[in-house]
Amino acid sequence: MTIAIEREPHSLPTKPGLSLGDRWYIDKRLKGLARFALAITFLNILGHLWLGFEQSWITPFVALAAAYGTELAAETAQAHADRRRPRYLGSPGNFISFLLSAHISGLAVGMLLFAAEQLWVVAFGASLAVASKWLFRVRLPLGDGHTSRHFLNPSNFGISVVLLLFPSVGIAPPYMFAENISGALDWVLPLVVILTGSLLNTKLTGRMPLIGAWVICFAAQAAIRSAANGTPLEAGLVPMTGFAFILFTFYMITDPATTPGKPRNQIIFAMAVAAVYGILMQLHVVFGLFFALTIVTATRGILLMLSAGKVGMHPSTSVLDGRVDGKWSHAGDGAPQAARLASNP
């Protein structure tokens, strides 16, 4: 694991042999981040003004301040160590683009955690979410160079750690997403989220196979637990009807930076998260969705590091400020291709 530079994706050459995940990093990352940031901002505004969010109005601002501060401080320290200009400098557009990821993480943590008036806990969770991107990384091949990517879902990791450390903190109650609406709007709002999420994940992330597999596997684990425990099937399926499950399905588990790019492996990833969730439920562990995703992404990160080590990859290249320098040295002719496959399993 290293603390490394996140390059500007559009400046890297697009190779025909790159995986879907790599192409997303190069061509569509900024578009995806901008649209996700816009969607979660709109939902927070709508939630606090109309839907019935239970957190105080200051909560999202505290979360954003912590997320922005952590991202800027980490980049400033890294830039100083590398003797280069911080990536957020240059133009207002650079500054805004640089903070998009932190913006999403901060608002997600502030929206999904319910810490009453313990604002410092929300700030801690948002800061930890952003810090995890800098601390937990794996080096992978990308085109003619290499890249260092985080493997933990930032928002999910920050939320999971807060839930483990602070028993007084819980997840925001699901009813708050529809507390002040009724009638047809009870159906319209979830449908809007599903349609916009499907559009984003079809056009920009390519994670629709993961979404489909996740929904099917979640229902399957509910059926298995129902048969094993002699409990009503409906009890295991009820979470799927909630707004929180919809948000998790279309905006949390589909994070392109921390999930596989190949459809077959997206299905395996979804099966793993559903299986771990089912096990946690059998063990009566609450907040299973968040813990299951953290466990699976952490395991995937370890497997990525082990795979890179097995093929004998020795990075002799660096990516700084969007530039790719040098080549990958390797022990055998099959190493680059094997490592490329390992980069997006």
Q: What is the pLDDT of residue 145?
A: 66
Query: Could you tell me the CA-to-CA distances from 208 to 156, 256, 294, 321 in Å, in that order?
Result: 20, 11, 20, 31
Query: How many residues does the structure list for the chain?
Result: 345
Query: Could you tell me the CA-to-CA distances from 115 to 103, 111, 120, 173, 243 in Å, in that order?
Result: 20, 10, 9, 11, 20
* 250 located within any domain: yes
What pLDDT digit, counting tens, does each position of 131-152 carry? 999 999 888 766 666 778 889 9
- Closest by CA to 260, choosing from 8, 16, 31, 20, is 20
Residue 287's φ and ψ, nearest 5 degrees, are 60, 35
Distance CA(343)–CA(174), nearest Å, equals 36
Average pLDDT over residues 297-312: 81
Q: Tokens 């603390």 belong to which residue? A: 3
Model confidence, pTM: 0.81
CB distance 317 to 325 below 8 Å: yes
* 124 located within any domain: yes
CB distance 107 to 252 below 8 Å: no
Higher pLDDT, 28 or 109: 109
What pLDDT digit, counting tens, does each position of 185-200 carry? 888 888 988 998 898 8
Domain that residue 40 falls in:
9-342
Total domains present in the chain = 1
Enter the tokens of residue 219.
């229902």
Return the SS3 of 150.
Answer: strand
Distance CA(103)–CA(96), nearest Å, equals 9
What pLDDT digit, counting tens, does each position of 158-183 carry? 999 999 999 999 998 888 888 888 88
Distance CA(14)–CA(148), nearest Å, equals 17
Q: What is the mean pLDDT of the chain?
A: 82
325 pLDDT above the threshold of 60: no
List the beta bridge partners of residue 149. 138
Helix (H) or strand (E) holding 114: strand 113-114
Distance CA(277)–CA(267), nearest Å, equals 15
Distance CA(285)–CA(281), nearest Å, equals 6
In sequence order, which ranges of the chain are alpha helices (DSSP H)? 20-23, 29-46, 59-82, 92-112, 119-135, 154-165, 185-200, 208-229, 233-237, 243-247, 263-282, 288-310, 335-342
* 156 located within any domain: yes
* 81 located within any domain: yes
Distance CA(239)–CA(299), nearest Å, equals 25
- Closest by CA to 336, choosing from 143, 117, 101, is 143
Distance CA(158)–CA(281), nearest Å, equals 21
* 113 located within any domain: yes
List the beta bridge partners of residue 113. 171
Distance CA(322)–CA(13), nearest Å, equals 10
* 203 located within any domain: yes
Distance of alpha carbon 315 from its chain centroid, rounded? 26
Q: Tokens 């793993």 belong to which residue? A: 272
* 48 located within any domain: yes
Torsion of CA 172, 174, 180, 184, to 10 degrees: 150
Q: What is the pLDDT of residue 12?
A: 42
CB distance 29 to 8 below 8 Å: no
13 pLDDT above the threshold of 80: no
What pLDDT digit, counting tens, does each position of 65-109 carry? 999 999 999 999 999 998 999 999 988 888 999 999 999 999 999
* 208 located within any domain: yes
